[in-house]
Structure 1
Amino acid sequence: MRAAYMYGPGDVRVIDAPEPRIEQPTDAVLRTIVACVCGSDLHPYHSMKPNTAGRSMGHEMVAVVEEIGADVRTVAPGDVVIVPFVFSCGVCDFCREGLQTSCRVAGLSVPTGAGGAQAQYRRAPFADGTLYRVDVTEDDERMPGLLTLSDVYGTGWHAAVTGGVRAGKDVVVIGDGAVGLLAVLSARQLGAERIVLMGRHRARTDLGRRFGATDVVAERGEDGVAAVRDLTGGDGAHVVVDAVGHLPAYEQALGVVRAGGTVTRVGVPQYSDGPVGRVQFERNVTIAGGVAPVRAYIDALLPGVLDGTVDPGAVFDRELPLDDAAEGYRLMDDRDALKVMLRP
């Protein structure tokens, strides 16, 4: 099969790789319909330590079930499934509580050997607890929207939910990537009235306005903080989403959040230390967010995608064949594409 591997900074190649097979009775083998490049894939694209064996890439996909293990009960060959970016058993206490990312037998920190989603086929461990069957055909025009449910839409929703967004709240979203834009959409769905998008790429901020942003602030740093505070009457916003993951964005978030507000971080942090001392403590600022348990949110978000009420798939502005995955990385890294969808 064809699969995208990363060998070092800027070095993505699509190679011939072994096809996956059933290894455990709880496995399924999937054939990819659509996958994509994520903003978080660009972190290793910049800084990965060179590895001659390469690293199988990708974690977002919609697929067709090709084969199932003897113990799989909830999906069958031929089913179209959304594949959340973290595998989960579905039955442990964390899964039952809706925190599948901390699943005791799979989860974020447990190596599964499943391989990446930027491939023609993939093994899915814990198929019953992870895969979400959806009654559509492979050529469904809503496929881009369904693909966002494997990560970025659920992550934007996680930002809004953990931030406590509701009617009457002012919200600031830092970052105009796919997650930031879908955090704007989610904040609007949850009733926020003023939503300020901090971004400087016109095509992206225009999409942000379409999703519900009431204001756009292009400035960064102290100038950006001053602009947001001016928009919010001097006090700052009730909820601030850091959808970037770099320390300056987090520091900016602390600058624009109001006393008693919440900073919710869903951009993967690229720093180990940040300000959490008196600047946060004295103003009663809550730090929330984290890795999104997107499997827990599909029930709530899927109906809007299916009935066309929302169009989260609009974040995909380029589509390429899988064999051109390296070009997809380049386009996103150069900001020539917002989010690239791949089809085998």
Structure 2
Amino acid sequence: MDMRAAVFRGPGEIAIEDVPKPALDAPTDAVVRVTHTAICGSDLWPYRGQEDRDVPSRIGHEPMGIVEEVGEEVRSVAPGDRVFAPFVTSCGECEFCRKGLHTSCVNGGFWGGEDGGAQGEYVRARHADGTLVRVPDRHADDEETLQAILPLTDVMGTGHHAAVSAGVDAGSTCIVVGDGAVGLCGVLAARRLGAERIIAMGHHEDRLALAESFGATDTIAARGEEAVERAQELTYGGANHVMECVGSTGAMNTAIEVCRPGGTVGYVGVPHGIEDDGLDIFGLFMDNISLNGGIAPVRAYADELLADVLGGTLDPSPIFTKTVDLDGVPEGYRAMDEREAIKVLVKP
């Protein structure tokens, strides 16, 4: 049996094609009918030709939907349950899952291949008990709540990881570098953790206005050294907690420059070109700045963030500024690539 899914056909080319529908392959698997998913900023790297990816290959990694079928060993979810899943699968039982580092799970992996990229009608969730997060029945059909939950599959958990990695806590002053979906969620995360002052740095006035609605106390729209000087003025020499949410050399070096001596940069931007373009290691060294972070173990944060969404104290859904159906996914990529949308919601 086939399904329809987004397929990467090379830089600038996303096609909607008929592909084999995933089926149970192991007793720990579940098959999920996707009702909500999204296009991620990291999907744009291969789309822009800045990251190698197999051609053709299914794409997407932020699924939410209804469980259709489960293997005989699955215990935590059942057919008919509403679930969402982080951008990697994880067993929940290995050494790394037990320490909250689900992205290093020895049995897990990324969505794609025969499991189905999440920008499609179905996915197979391997290690369903360790991967899938069940949405309580009373919220399972509340569309506003579901759209607030969907960012927990990636960007909200990633923004939270940036804040945690930077050491943000009650009373902190912090700087968020980047006004994309992850940076905006980083602002939400910093507010959630009790930061007293949150400075958002970016290049788009509309996004910085959203950052203010999310809790940013100051915004900086300047570029280059002007932006660094403004941040240092606002913080009297830099912040102890800086969140790098872009993944470029420029953003990382900016984060280092605006970090106070002895402070911490929490980085979650997927690195592109940083190893080749001159990361300011000397700046880290001279000011005893700690660098902490990496790929976000979203599953480790999912339960606590879900509780806040369901409790009405956390709502990252405004990051979705465009909604498309499956046929509209290619247009969604174009809109995000051209900065016409912050993040695109997909409803297959």
TM-score (ref. length: structure 2):
0.94
Q: Tell me, which stretches of 5 or more residues in structure 1 are unaligned? A: none
Q: Any idea what the Cα deviations from partners look like across 1:144-172, whole Å, max 9, x if unmatched? A: 11101111111111110111001232111
Give the equivalent residue in structure 2 for 1:237.
239
Q: What's the % identity of the aligned pairs?
A: 50
Aligned residues: 341
SS state at 2:327 partner: helix
Tell me whether 1:307 sits opposite 2:308 in the alignment: no
Q: Which residue of 2 aligns with 1:253?
A: 255
- Kept in 2, the 8 Å contact 1:29–1:124? The answer is yes
Partner of 1:131: 132
Out of 151, 154, 179, the position equivalent to 2:154 is 151
3-state SS of paired residue (1:271): coil
After TM superposition, give the deviation of residue 311 of structure 1 in Å: 1.3
Structure 1 consecutive aligned stretches of length 4 or more whose deviation exceeds 3 Å: 48-51, 110-113
- Specify the alignment match of 2:63 in structure 1: 61
3-state SS, counterpart of residue 30 of structure 1: strand
Distance 2:270 2:177 in 1: 13
Residue equivalent to 2:122: 121
Paired position in structure 2 for 1:220? 223
**Alignment pair present for 1:321 and 2:322:** no
* Larger displacement relative to structure 2 (198-207 or 256-265): 198-207
Q: Over residues 227-279 of structure 1, what are the superposed CA-to-partner deviations in whole Å (9 max), with x where a residue is unaligned?
A: 1001111x101111111101011111111000011111111010242435332
What CA distance in whole angstroms lies between the structure 2 residues aligned with 1:68 and 1:310?
A: 31
2:342 maps to 1:338: yes
Secondary structure class of the residue paired with 2:246: coil
Q: Does 1:192 align with 2:201?
A: no
Distance 1:50 1:279 in 2: 33
Deviation at 1:221?
1.5
- Measure the CA separation in 1 of the matches of 2:186 and 2:254: 17
Counterpart check, 1:206 vs 2:222: no
SS in 2 for 1:172: strand
For each residue in 1:85-124, what CA deviation from the matched residue of structure 2 results, as whole angstroms up to 9, or x when unmatched?
A: 110000011111111001111146x987422100001111
TM superposition score normalised by structure 1: 0.95
Instruction: Return the offset for 1:309.
Output: 1.6
Kept after mapping to 1: 8 A contact 2:262/2:290: yes
What letter is aligned with 1:82?
Answer: F
Which among 283, 287, 292 is matched to residue 288 of structure 1?
292
The separation in 2 between residues aligned to 1:141 and 1:330, in whole angstroms, is: 25
Q: What SS does the aligned partner of 2:60 have?
A: coil
Supply the distance in 2 between the matched residues of 1:143 and 1:279 (Cα, whole angstroms).
43
Contact 1:171/1:196 (8 A) holds in 2: yes
Q: Deviations over 1:310-331 (max 9, x none)?
A: 2111111111101110000000
Shift of 1:140: 3.2
Contact 2:59 2:118 in 1 (8 A): yes
Greater mean deviation of Cα atoms: 286-295 or 162-171: 162-171
CA contact (8 A) 1:89 1:105 kept: yes
Cα distance in 2 for partners of 1:324, 1:82 equals 22
Task: Pick the aligned partner of 2:32 from 24, 30, 33.
Answer: 30
* CA distance in structure 1 between the aligned counterparts of 2:281 and 2:346, rounded to whole angstroms: 43
Q: Which residue of 2 aligns with 1:172?
A: 175
- Which secondary structure state, in structure 2, belongs to the residue aligned with residue 64 of structure 1? strand
- Give, as a single letter, the amino acid of the residue that structure 2 aligns with 1:206: A
- Give the corresponding residue for 1:6: 8
